[in-house]
Structure 1
Amino acid sequence: MSSRRAAAPRRGARTVAAVLGALVLAACGAGPSGAPAATATTASPAASAARPAPPPAGGVLDYQLGGAYPPAADVDVVVRDRTAPPVRGVYSVCYVNAFQTQPGETAWWRRAHPDLLLRDARGRLVEDADWPGEVLLDTSTSARRTAAARVVGRWVDGCAAAGYRAVELDNLDAFTRSGGRLTQGQAVAFAGLLAQRAHAAGLAVAQKNTAELTRRQVRAVGFDFAVAEECQVWDECDVYTGHYGRHVLEVEYTDTGRRPFREACAARGDRVSVLLRDRDVVPRGTRGHVSEHC
Structure 2
Amino acid sequence: MMRIRVRSARRLSALAALAAAVVAVPLIADDQAGAAPAAVALPPAHAGFDYQIGGAYTPPAGVQVVSRDHEDSPAAGLYNICYINAFQVQPGAESSWDSDLLLRDSSGKVVYDTDWGEALLDTRTADKRTRIAAKVDGWIDQCASKGYQAIEPDNYDSYSRSKKLLTSGGAEAYITLLSAHAHSEGLAIAQKNTSELAGDRASTGLDFAVAEECGTYGECNDYTAAFGNHVIVIEYTAKGLSKACAGWGSALSIVRRDVDVSPAGSSGYVRKTC
Q: How high is the TM-score relative to the length of structure 1?
A: 0.83
Q: Which runs of 4+ in 1 moved over 6 A?
A: none
- Deviation, 1:65, is 1.1
Q: Contact between 1:80 and 1:93, CA under 8 Å: does it hold in 2?
A: yes
Displacement, 1:214? 5.0
Shift of 1:131: 2.1
Which residue among 166, 179, 196 is the counterpart of 2:163? 179
Gaps of 5+ in 1: 22-46
**Partner residue of 1:278 out of 238, 258, 266:** 258
Match of 2:112, SS state, is coil
Alpha-carbon separation, structure 2, partners of 1:275 and 1:48: 34
Give the superposition deviation at 1:153: 0.7
The verdict on how the C-alpha distance between 1:86 and 1:48 changes in structure 2, with shifts beyond 3 A counting, is: farther
Provide the rounded CA distance (Å) in 1 between the counterparts of 2:114 and 2:84.
20
> Counterparts in 2 of 1:51-62, with a 5 A limit?
51-62=39-50
SS across alignment from 1:242: helix
Q: State the Cα deviation string for residues 78-117 of structure 1 (Å, max 9, x = none).
A: 00000100111000000000000011422322xxx11211
1:225 aligns with 2:208: yes
| Amino acid aligned to 1:150 | A
Cα contact 2:256–2:273 (8 A) shared by 1: yes
Deviations 1:29-79 (A, max 9, x none): xxxxxxxxxxxxxxxxxx964331210000100000111101013110000
| Structure showing the higher helix proportion among its residues | 1
| Shift in Å, 1:292 | 1.4
In the other structure, the counterpart of 1:131 is 116
Corresponding residue to 1:106 among 83, 89, 94: 94
Q: Does 1:63 align with 2:43?
A: no
**1:155 aligns to what?**
139
2:250 aligned partner, one-letter code: D
One of 60, 77, 101 as aligned partner of 1:89: 77
Task: Indicate yes or no: 2:243 matched with 1:263.
Answer: yes
Task: Answer yes or no: is the 8 Å Cα contact 1:249–1:273 preserved in 2.
Answer: yes
Q: 1:122 aligns with which of 107, 110, 113?
A: 107
CA RMSD of aligned residues (A): 1.4
In structure 1, how many angstroms separate the alpha carbons of the residues matched to 2:271 and 2:39? 31
Among 46, 56, 64, which residue is 1:76 paired with?
64
Supply the AA of the counterpart residue of 2:100. D
| Cα gap change, 1:49 to 1:190, in 2 (>3 Å) | closer
Gaps in structure 2 of 5+ consecutive residues: 12-34
- What are the Cα deviations for residues 201-249 of structure 1, in whole angstroms up to 9, with x where unaligned? 011000000011152x211111110000011111100000111111000
Tell me the SS of whatever aligns to 2:272: strand
Q: Is the 8 A contact 1:62 1:75 kept in 2?
A: yes
The within-5 A match list for 1:138-149 is 138-149=122-133
CA distance in 1, matches of 2:196, 2:125: 22
Helix, strand or coil at the partner of 1:232: helix
**CA distance change for structure 1 residues 214 and 80 in 2, over 3 Å: closer, same or farther?**
closer
Residues of 2 paired with 1:123 and 1:205: CA distance?
33
* Alignment partner, residue 268 of structure 2: 288
CA apart distance, 1:198: 0.4
Q: Number of aligned pairs?
A: 251
- The one-letter code matched in structure 2 to 1:287 is S
- 1:159 aligns to what SS in structure 2? helix
**C-alpha distance in 2 between matches for 1:204 and 1:214:** 16
Q: Whole-Å Cα distance in 1 between the matches of residues 70 and 265 of structure 2?
A: 22
The match for 1:40 is none
Identity of aligned residues (%): 49
Structure showing the higher strand proportion among its residues: 2
SS for the counterpart of 1:52 is strand
2:153 to 163, 169, 173: 169
Partners of 1:198 and 1:171 in 2: CA distance: 17
